[in-house]
Amino acid sequence: MPYSKPDDFELDDMEMAANDPAPKRSTRRDESGTQCIHRSLGVMRLLASGSRHGLKLVDIAAALDLSHPTTHRILKALEEEGVVERVHGSRRYTVGAEAAWLGLAATDRFPINAAAAPVLDGLSKAIGDPVFLAVASRHDTIYADRRIGAFPSQTVRLSIGARRPLGVSIAGRTMLAFMPERKVDEVLTTNAPRFDAYQCNAGIILEGMREARNRGYLCADSVTASENRVISVPVLNMVGAPVAAISIIAPHHRLPASRIPRLVPMLRAAAQDISRSLTEKAKVA
């Protein structure tokens, strides 16, 4: 005879959850699934910040402190979805085309590129050297746009979408300089294990931030190519928070010290134009 629950036998939701082991198993599955998502996105970010020639499985596993089997499973799943691709004829992995198509869906939500495009065009023509637009995303600096200019250099290899740990690049330090202290502490703590690969540390970053605050811009040698010099200014919103940075990157002979006083005002004017455009777009919206 099937069991029939008495009419007066009732349990509230909390009692049911406490007495039923199933939710615990579900919670463990949920936690496992969440961990897998975090790891997968970690792989995607690492590939996005790596060489355009891709990264090997062993390098990905070492960088993210994952086992080789776990890394292989993640890469296989991401490859099946098209967001990761294997470089033809090699064992290297890179960001797949599907990731780019997914990114297009969010383009309209982030107006910085549209606001900056005409400004970058004009700045590139006036200066002649490569000009870059960088933005901060979580704990990374992302190069969102660029103009090669009339004097391109083989030593300037940054491509659109390239990533660096926030604080490593000159643009990153420029943006960090105008962020709240709590955010700076979070970034420096989180990114500390990543700095060694760039021969960088918190002390170097903080020194650059102080210079950027004092001068309103930062000029220093490129972190990844010391033969290049970088001049970077922040793009600030209406409340003074950084939304981006504009940088000139060129070999030393193209950016001698004597040229800096003329270039900085041009960069500042460009940053103000972008900020003004963003403010106007926000008012219309």
Q: Determine the Cα angle at 67 with ends 65 and 70, to 5°.
A: 115
Average pLDDT over residues 172-201: 95
On average, the pLDDT of the chain sits at 86
- CATH 3.30.450.40, the chain: domain bounds: 111-284
Give the DSSP letter string of 69-96. Answer: HHHHHHHHHHHHHTSEEEPTTSSEEEE-
pLDDT at 216 over 80: yes
At 101, is the pLDDT very low, low, confident or very high (cuts 50, 70, 90)?
confident
Q: Return the number of other C-beta atoms located less than 10 Å from residue 136's C-beta.
A: 21
**Average pLDDT for residues 24-37, to the nearest whole number?**
65
pLDDT band at 30 (very low <50, low <70, confident <90, very high): low
Domain spanning 111-284: CATH superfamily: GAF domain (3.30.450.40)
**Residue 39: closest CA among 23, 82, 47, 101:** 47
| 176 or 6: which leads in pLDDT | 176
- Please name the residue that has the structure tokens 């691709």: 85
- Domain limits, CATH 1.10.10.10, in the chain: 27-100
Any idea which architecture 27-100 has in CATH? Orthogonal Bundle (1.10)
pLDDT in tens, 117-152: 999 999 999 999 999 999 999 899 999 999 999 988
Q: What percent of the chain has pLDDT over 90?
A: 61
Residue 25 confidence (pLDDT) above 80: no
Residues 6+ apart with CB under 8 A from 89: none
